[in-house]
Structure 1
Amino acid sequence: MSNYETMKDRMSSHFLEYDQEKMIRKFALEHDEKYLYIFFVGRKYRINRITGGITWSVDEFQTEENANYNEAMTIYDVLCNSKEYCHPAHEWVHIGSLSTVRGGNLANDSNFFKDAGKKFDGKTAELAKACERLHGIKMEKDDVAYQLEMFSFLLVVLRFWESDDEFPASLQVLVDRNILEYMHYETVMFAIGHLLERVGEEMERK
């Protein structure tokens, strides 16, 4: 078992130490006796209330897949560690400008965004279609710009500019100024990584 799987299994046990009824009230979660349900970047997940394991499905759980590390760790952090009175500020900030951040993988000039921008270059139509499939709301600026639901209670904005003769392709993600009330900074990396992965999946879907 990889270190990632070990950490994910450890967190599934840790999840069971928390008050699930409080989670349900806090985030208005769909639930039943066996599971809590949550949407994360356009995909429905359920958390087993006995084991803490997380799976996702596109067909109301007639079939299901285990959540990967980025998916699971983001969901666990939000449900277990978000501040008691977390709330959106409804103010967009560049992800690299969060007040507690000093550099790191999500800084403005990091390879994380440069590499992602290269993957989208020359594919603005496909990128826009992927955002539409994720029920994004189009914003009237930039080559591609959409407001997307990370969670139903926490939105993000994806902005992309094609390369030209002077500048390389550029990708930006704007987040709510209060995002760190919902998750740790390290978890933001997992969440944004998953967001871009989901966009990539939708771009490839026929």
Structure 2
Amino acid sequence: MPELIDRIFFDDLKKQSPEDVCKRTLSSWNQVERCYEITVWNQKCVINPEQYKIDWIKENGKEENKDRAGELHEYFSLFAIHYLLTSKEINLSEKWISEKDIPGGSTFFRGPHEVPTNLVTQKFSKQIDKFKERCEAMHGTPIKMADAAYKFIIAPRIPVALLFWDCDEDFPAEAKLLYDKTIIDHLALDIIFALAVGFCEQFAGEAIN
């Protein structure tokens, strides 16, 4: 279990009804193993509240080796348990917003909490084709925005869009993350920030196997 996840989050999850959690989050409950199973960015996440444990499962059903390149950033474990704890049973709005559009976001997402989209621009400036290849390798779906943009299903109720404008002779490359407006109802600001950091670092890192 990553040290950044306090045991109290598992304790809070134990107090909730599995039926309610699964209904809210579109996850599933394994009664035999007494754990929740949910797909996070195309990887299977298994959360066992009683054992204070989060595992990531490879496609062949084996537990992911934590040292292997390709495992999701540790912030996705933090995201996953909070998603189970706080997400609501609501439909997507189909309206994209930036972090600055979230109530309190214009002051929160500054300084040390600035979303590090610079990691994306540093790696893919003047390489828009490689940006597209990376998006497709990470299970993105193209959308008609910016010079190139893709939507990623991070969790059943949490889509994220990554927009990219390549540099030209007048402007540097720019990237931006957008979220479905309903993210306001699901996650607190600090968890949205953790999701954004994990996303940017994951995207700018080595390709997922």
| Equivalent residue number for residue 15 of structure 1 | 13
| Equivalent residue number for residue 138 of structure 2 | 134
Distance across 1 between alignment mates of 2:4 and 2:11: 11
1:64, distance to aligned residue in structure 2 (A): 2.2
| Equivalent residue number for residue 100 of structure 2 | 96
1:144 and 1:159 in contact (8 A); partners too: yes
1:38, distance to aligned residue in structure 2 (A): 0.9
The alpha-carbon distance between structure 1 residues 16 and 205, as it changes in their structure 2 partners (threshold 3 A), is closer
Which of 197, 203, 207 is the matching residue for 1:204? Answer: 207
Amino acid of the structure 2 residue aligned with 1:131: C
1:142 and 1:160 in contact (8 A); partners too: yes
Distance across 2 between alignment mates of 1:52 and 1:194: 21
The alpha-carbon distance between structure 1 residues 112 and 41, as it changes in their structure 2 partners (threshold 3 A), is same
Task: Work out whether 1:71 is the aligned partner of 2:76.
Answer: yes
Matches within 5 A, 1:48-67: 48-65=48-65
Amino acid of the structure 2 residue aligned with 1:204: A
1:87 and 1:181 in contact (8 A); partners too: no
User: Bigger shift: 180-189 or 13-22?
Assistant: 13-22
- Gapped runs of 5+ residues in structure 2? 67-71
1:102, distance to aligned residue in structure 2 (A): 2.9
Distance across 1 between alignment mates of 2:56 and 2:186: 21
Distance across 2 between alignment mates of 1:171 and 1:147: 13
1:17, distance to aligned residue in structure 2 (A): 2.7
Secondary structure at the counterpart of residue 140 of structure 1: coil
- Gapped runs of 5+ residues in structure 1? none
| Equivalent residue number for residue 173 of structure 2 | 169
Secondary structure at the counterpart of residue 190 of structure 1: helix
Deviations 1:4-48 (A, max 9, x none): 716444433333232222111222323322121111122211112
Amino acid of the structure 1 residue aligned with 2:97: V
Distance across 1 between alignment mates of 2:198 and 2:115: 16
Secondary structure at the counterpart of residue 103 of structure 1: helix
1:44 and 1:58 in contact (8 A); partners too: yes
1:15 and 1:52 in contact (8 A); partners too: no
2:148 and 2:164 in contact (8 A); partners too: yes
Distance across 1 between alignment mates of 2:58 and 2:97: 32
User: Identity percentage over the alignment?
Assistant: 17
Amino acid of the structure 2 residue aligned with 1:92: W
Distance across 1 between alignment mates of 2:128 and 2:194: 24
| Equivalent residue number for residue 28 of structure 1 | 26
| Equivalent residue number for residue 85 of structure 2 | 80
RMSD of equivalent CA atoms = 2.8
Task: Work out whether 1:181 is the aligned partner of 2:185.
Answer: yes
1:158, distance to aligned residue in structure 2 (A): 0.6
